[in-house]
């Protein structure tokens, strides 16, 4: 999808630093009135901000404008508006904010989520689109199926560590699909490097919301290494080396396997084989770093969607039972589901769509940066504005999804014409818009389908009970400001009666 494991706090603070002249407010889209100079900074609660955005959408309409110290934040609350601007005007709505520490000094500019709208971004995006089409992804199906049973076994062995198991699954799957690297133990070198880099990105580089003093005062990047206050440069050198190591080690292993004829079909092999003998140094760079982007972009999203699915099953046991009945009837109880079963499991398609809709994993996505002044519906949108697709509101549109806050898969089984089906399909907007739309969306969608269908085939996921037999209601909390990721909650995960056969235990 089009997002990395950061927080909205970084983007909002960066907004404060950029001040520019804007057109008269009478031409701006409507929005809550801010204070002089500082604007709406106190309206931006980082805790579940999507709820405030939903309220603003009801009050002000399809486009909401606020500003912080003169810099505009534009929220697009309707999917058609987002398509009009981010898709049809993608040439000016596809840039990203610039961060000196994370991007320049730590080398994060090679990760596509940080990369501005430039030639490098366009080259790497084309590579990902070429190697991650639905047709090509069919070649990866055996790799996806290979990771399912180990995940289910780990989940049953230690259910309370379910977040760790999902993280391990996402990392292992990505290494396999992208590099053809099969993880066989917790001590796997590539997995350890990948997990360490994910930790560096999330907890070190992003320690202040990805914003450092050098982002505020860019001239500090020229400080000598020995000067007081240059500690950030020493850290950047270390972290850049780690990020470079992760981009390099699995790719070099892949190249070695290609040379000796043992490489598996994977993302990198698809692109290298397509380039053939004419492959250039720039081709290699783009393949290596587009591959590297896949890991950093997929981890938090996978954790968010799968943990949300588990929460939905705990809170809606009737959905779990109905889905299990369909799986048992179509697939049987002697094997796990595979992709050949998918056309015959229509209710599971409804469950998957409702998981994406109800979860809204990145409720307002990461901002696009408008590259030049624009007008839309007689509104003026200033150059430099940060433009957010309010995906949460699109997924909670009562006109399209009655009783939108409820988890109701059956809504997608209701008869409708093709245009309505397309408009109500959440996959058309939860993966982003325009040229920042997640190039890995088909891989994410198919791997999610296989994983949640296999979980329902093998497991009962339900409310936990205490030692006295009392049902424990899950405590539902959302603490991440970018991903709508449920905080860890209590639940009961146990094998179904035929699970041992399914997992070859």
DSSP 406: S
Q: What is the pLDDT of residues 71-88, one digit of tens each?
A: 788 999 999 999 999 999
- 1 domain-assigned: no
Closest CA to 130 of 460, 345, 442: 442
Q: What is the pLDDT of residues 120-169, one digit of tens each?
A: 999 999 999 888 889 888 988 988 888 899 999 999 999 999 999 998 89
In a domain, 133, yes or no: yes
Q: What residues does 72 pair with on adjacent strands?
A: 67
- Residue 56: pLDDT over 60: yes
Asked if the model's pLDDT at residue 318 lies above 60, the reply is yes
Domain that holds residue 248: 8-502
The C-alpha atoms of residue 394 and residue 364 are separated, in whole angstroms, by: 10
> Does pLDDT of 39 surpass 80?
yes
β 459-462/368-369 pair status: unpaired
Q: Using DSSP, state whether 505 is helix, strand or coil.
A: coil
Query: Pick from 65, 68, 47, 48: which is nearest to 56 by CA?
Result: 65
Any idea which residue has 């939108």 for tokens?
A: 404
Is 63 within the bounds of a domain? yes
Domain harbouring 483, CATH code? 1.10.630.10
**Mean pLDDT for the stretch of residues 470-482:** 86
Average pLDDT of the segment spanning 90-100: 89
Region 18-27: mean pLDDT is 50
Cβ atoms of residues 502 and 333 within 8 Å: yes
Which has more pLDDT, 484 or 311? Answer: 311
pLDDT of 51 higher than 90: no
Question: Nearest Cα to 102, choosing from 13, 186, 28, 32?
Answer: 13
Q: Is 266 annotated as a binding residue?
A: no
* Domain presence at residue 3: no
Contact 167, 485 (CB under 8 A): no
Residue 14 within a domain: yes
For the chain, the domain total comes to 1
Cα angle vertex 201, ends 197, 204, to 5°? Answer: 105
The answer to whether residue 128 is domain-embedded is yes
Does position 111 have pLDDT exceeding 60, yes or no? yes
pLDDT at 463: 95
């Amino acid at each position: 999808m089009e997002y990395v494991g950061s927080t909205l706090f970084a983007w909002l603070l960066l907004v404060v630093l950029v001040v520019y002249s804007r057109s008269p407010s009478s031409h701006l889209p409507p929005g809550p009135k801010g204070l002089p100079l500082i604007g709406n900074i106190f309206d931006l609660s980082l805790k579940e901000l999507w709820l405030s955005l939903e309220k603003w959408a009801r009050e002000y309409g399809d486009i909401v404008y606020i500003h912080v110290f003169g810099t505009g934040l534009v929220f697009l609350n309707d999917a058609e508006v987002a398509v009009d601007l981010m898709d049809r005007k993608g040439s000016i709505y596809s840039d990203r904010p610039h961060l000196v520490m994370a991007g320049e000094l730590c080398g994060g500019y090679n990760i596509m989520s940080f990369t501005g709208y430039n030639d490098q971004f366009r080259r790497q995006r084309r590579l990902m689109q070429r190697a991650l089409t639905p047709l090509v992804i069919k070649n990866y199906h055996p790799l996806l199926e290979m990771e399912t049973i180990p995940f289910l076994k780990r989940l049953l062995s230690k259910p309370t560590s379910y977040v760790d198991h999902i993280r391990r699954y996402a990392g292992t799957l990505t290494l396999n699909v992208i590099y053809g690297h099969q993880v066989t133990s917790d001590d796997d070198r590539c997995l350890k490097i990948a997990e360490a880099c994910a930790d560096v990105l999330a907890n070190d580089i992003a320690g202040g919301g990805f914003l450092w003093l050098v982002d505020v005062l860019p001239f500090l990047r020229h400080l000598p290494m020995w000067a007081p206050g240059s500690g950030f440069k020493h850290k950047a050198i270390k972290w850049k080396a780690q990020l470079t190591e992760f981009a390099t080690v699995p790719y070099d292993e892949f190249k070695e396997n290609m040379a000796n004829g043992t490489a598996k079909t994977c993302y990198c092999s698809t692109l290298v084989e397509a380039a053939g003998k004419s492959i250039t140094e720039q081709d290699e760079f783009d393949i290596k770093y587009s591959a590297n982007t896949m890991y950093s972009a997929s981890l938090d999203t996978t954790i968010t969607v799968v943990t949300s699915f588990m929460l939905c099953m705990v809170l809606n046991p009737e959905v779990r039972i109905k889905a299990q009945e369909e799986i048992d009837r179509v697939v049987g109880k002697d094997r796990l589901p595979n992709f050949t079963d998918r056309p015959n499991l229509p209710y599971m398609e409804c469950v998957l769509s409702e998981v994406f809709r109800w979860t809204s994993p990145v409720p307002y996505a990461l901002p696009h940066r408008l590259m030049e002044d624009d007008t839309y519906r007689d509104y003026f949108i200033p150059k430099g504005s940060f433009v957010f697709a309010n995906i949460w509101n699109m997924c909670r549109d009562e006109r399209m999804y009655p009783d939108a806050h409820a988890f109701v898969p059956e809504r997608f089984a209701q008869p409708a014409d093709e245009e309505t089906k397309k408009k109500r399909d959440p996959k058309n907007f939860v993966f982003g818009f325009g040229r920042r739309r997640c190039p890995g969306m088909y891989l994410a969608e198919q791997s999610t389908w296989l994983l949640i269908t296999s979980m329902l085939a093998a497991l009962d996921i339900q409310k936990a009970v205490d030692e006295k037999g009392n049902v424990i209601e899950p405590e539902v909390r959302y603490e991440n400001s970018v991903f709508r990721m449920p905080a860890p909650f209590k639940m009961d995960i146990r094998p179904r009666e035929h699970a041992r056969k399914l997992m070859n235990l």
